[in-house]
């Protein structure tokens, strides 16, 4: 009895440590937004270089996915997370102390690699330490808790950067990162005593790849998640900051507040759209397709914002964008229900790769389209090419998605995705 109680206590401790790791991952993804003017000033960055710097995290994250799957297969979550987390910690310090674009870029690459295991490793630990019937619920809680990192990267980070400077703010987060890494070493174990690696960690991410690549549905959903999460993360994780600060003339705190609205609306939308898909519409396509179409229209509406726009107009538009982006999580369930069971894991791993490539490509492309130095961005029209590109990408994804077969939920529980 005592042994079971002890294992139960360790399981929840592991869940807490893993959740903190995903909070850090979400923070690092979107932390460049409110400090973008500081980065451009202190590192001497152009708009294109700012886009490349932010994209580097996502390129490194995406490139790590297949090697990560193999590492989870061979050594389990604990020994995959520890060295990667240490690499991310080095990246945090290097980024905070950078005095040029090259150092900052290397820091972002190390952060992308370091955070690449914080979701898949956490899911492997949940699968190993908790009963199967709790997996969907706990993975949902994990994703929800992770968004605390996105919330902290909004107004709280703006306050810290304004009071301490962005470098000290990042070093402070680095202390929390170090504590979390130490907790992984002390608390986390791959599985309970007498257990073994779970199916989630044993699965080779390359198995069944040929079957997946021959399925048009996989390519359509990959394009959908590429632009859906790519455009949302590019807005939340980078371009909303320069647009509001330079284009509309807002303060860092006001910009952080708008990002809070965007993030909170997205968090609220995740369970709402999942429940709508599972229990009411009993359809994946009927919620994903309208989400893509409306997101395209809302992104285009960003081109109409002018200096002096009332705060409620910007907050309202950001709230709608966050809400309408949330059905993207259901794409993971859609592909899972369109492919045979033996290749479902491979299909979803591939979808996750495109999910993380999307922000990298969209961030960087938007930087090329906007171009210029800060003094050239003092009107919102300078950002219009980026919004047109994002709106066109979302519209293209919706057009292609319209020809995709629908699927029905296999259970009443919302499916959880990996990219968000």
Tokens linked to 38: 């500081």
pLDDT (tens digit per residue) in 349-375: 788 899 999 999 999 999 999 977 677
pLDDT over threshold 60, residue 205: no
In this prediction, residues 182-195 reach a mean pLDDT of 88
When comparing pLDDT for 139 and 254, which is higher?
254
pLDDT over threshold 60, residue 197: no
When comparing pLDDT for 419 and 102, which is higher?
102
Categorize the per-residue pLDDT at 194 as very low, low, confident or very high, splitting at 50, 70 and 90: low
When comparing pLDDT for 6 and 197, which is higher?
6
Q: How far apart are CA 338 and CA 405, in angstroms?
A: 8
Neighbours of 243 (CB within 10 A): 26
Quick one: pLDDT at residue 24? 98
Tokens linked to 141: 């809680």
Three-state SS string over the chain comes to: CHHHHHHHHHHHHHHHHHHHHHHHHHHHHHCCCCCHHHHHHHHCCCHHHHHHHHHHHHHHHHHCHHHHHHHHHHHHHHHHHHHHHHHHHHHHHHHHCCCCHHHHHHHHHHHHHHHCCCCHHHHHHHHHHCCHHHHHHHHHHHHHHHHHHHHHCCHHHHHHHHHCCHHHHHHHHHHHHHHHHHHHHHHCCCCCCCCCCCHHHHCCCCCCHHHHHCCHHHHHHHHHHHHHHHHHHHHHHHHHHHHHHHHCCCCHHHHHHHHHHHHHHHHHHHHHHHHHHHHHCCCCHHHHHHHHHHHHHHHHHHHHCCCCCCHHHHHHHHHHHHHHHHHHHHHHHHHHHHCCHHHHHHHHHHHHHHHHHHHHHHHHHHHHHHCCCHHHHCCHHHHHHHHHHHHHHHHHHHHHHCCCCCCCCCCCCCCCCCCC
Quick one: pLDDT at residue 1? 54
pLDDT (tens digit per residue) in 289-303: 999 999 999 999 999
Task: With beta carbons less than 8 A apart as the criterion, state whether 29 and 57 touch.
Answer: yes
Sort 134 into a burial class: Cβ within 10 Å, 0-12 / 13-18 / 19+: middle
Categorize the per-residue pLDDT at 415 as very low, low, confident or very high, splitting at 50, 70 and 90: very low
Categorize the per-residue pLDDT at 413 as very low, low, confident or very high, splitting at 50, 70 and 90: very low
Looking at domain 1-205, its CATH superfamily turns out to be MFS general substrate transporter like domains (1.20.1250.20)
pLDDT over threshold 70, residue 78: yes
pLDDT (tens digit per residue) in 374-394: 777 888 999 999 999 999 999
- Tracing tokens 């057009």 back to the chain, one arrives at 399
In this prediction, residues 128-157 reach a mean pLDDT of 88
Tokens linked to 258: 């708008």
Q: The whole model's pTM is what?
A: 0.90
Quick one: pLDDT at residue 60? 97
In this prediction, residues 204-229 reach a mean pLDDT of 87
Quick one: pLDDT at residue 222? 96
- Tracing tokens 């909303």 back to the chain, one arrives at 240
| Residues forming CATH 1.20.1250.20 domain(s) in the chain | 1-205, 208-415
The domain defined by 208-415 folds into Growth Hormone; Chain: A; (1.20.1250)
Angle at 187 between CA 119 and CA 174, to 5 degrees: 60
Quick one: pLDDT at residue 14? 96
Quick one: pLDDT at residue 196? 59
pLDDT over threshold 70, residue 139: yes
Categorize the per-residue pLDDT at 412 as very low, low, confident or very high, splitting at 50, 70 and 90: very low
pLDDT over threshold 50, residue 19: yes
pLDDT over threshold 70, residue 156: yes
Quick one: pLDDT at residue 137? 74
Sort 209 into a burial class: Cβ within 10 Å, 0-12 / 13-18 / 19+: middle
Quick one: pLDDT at residue 418? 53
pLDDT over threshold 70, residue 204: no
């Amino acid at each position: 009895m005592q042994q079971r109680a002890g294992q139960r206590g360790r399981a929840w401790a592991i869940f807490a440590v893993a959740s903190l790791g995903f909070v850090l991952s979400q923070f690092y993804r979107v932390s460049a937004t409110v400090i973008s003017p500081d980065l451009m000033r202190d590192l001497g960055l152009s708009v294109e270089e700012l886009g490349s710097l932010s994209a580097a995290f996502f390129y490194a994250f995406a490139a790590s996915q297949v090697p990560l799957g193999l590492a989870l297969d061979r050594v389990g979550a604990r020994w995959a997370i520890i060295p990667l987390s240490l690499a991310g910690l080095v990246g945090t310090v290097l980024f905070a102390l950078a005095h040029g674009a090259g150092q900052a870029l290397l820091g972002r690459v190390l952060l992308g690699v370091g955070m690449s295991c914080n979701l898949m490793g956490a899911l492997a630990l949940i699968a190993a330490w908790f009963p199967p019937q709790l997996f969907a619920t706990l993975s949902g809680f994990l994703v929800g808790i992770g968004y605390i990192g996105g919330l902290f990267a909004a107004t709280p980070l703006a306050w810290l950067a304004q009071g301490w400077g962005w470098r000290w703010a990042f070093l402070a987060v680095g202390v929390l990162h170090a504590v979390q890494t130490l907790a992984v070493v002390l608390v986390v174990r791959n599985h309970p005593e007498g257990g073994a690696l779970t199916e989630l960690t044993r699965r080779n991410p390359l198995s069944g790849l040929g079957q997946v690549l021959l399925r048009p549905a996989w390519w359509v959903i990959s394009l959908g998640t590429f632009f859906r999460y790519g455009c949302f993360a590019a807005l939340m994780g980078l371009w909303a900051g320069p647009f509001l600060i330079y284009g509309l003339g807002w303060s860092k705190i006001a910009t952080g507040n708008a990002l809070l609205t965007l993030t909170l609306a997205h968090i609220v939308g995740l369970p709402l759209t999942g429940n709508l898909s599972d229990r009411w519409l009993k359809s994946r396509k009927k919620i994903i397709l309208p989400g893509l179409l409306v997101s395209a229209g809302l992104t285009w509406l960003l081109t109409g914002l002018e200096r002096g726009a009332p705060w409620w107009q910007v907050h309202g538009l950001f709230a709608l964008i966050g809400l309408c982006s949330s059905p993207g999580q259901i794409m993971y369930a859609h592909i899972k229900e369109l492919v045979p069971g033996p290749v479902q894991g491979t299909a979803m791993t591939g979808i996750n790769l495109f999910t993380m490539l999307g922000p990298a490509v969209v961030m960087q492309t938007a930087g090329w389209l906007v171009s210029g130095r800060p003094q050239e961005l003092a009107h919102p029209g300078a950002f219009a090419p980026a919004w047109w590109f994002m709106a066109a990408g979302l519209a293209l994804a919706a057009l292609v998605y319209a020809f995709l077969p629908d699927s029905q939920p296999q259970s009443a529980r919302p499916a959880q995705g990996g990219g968000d």
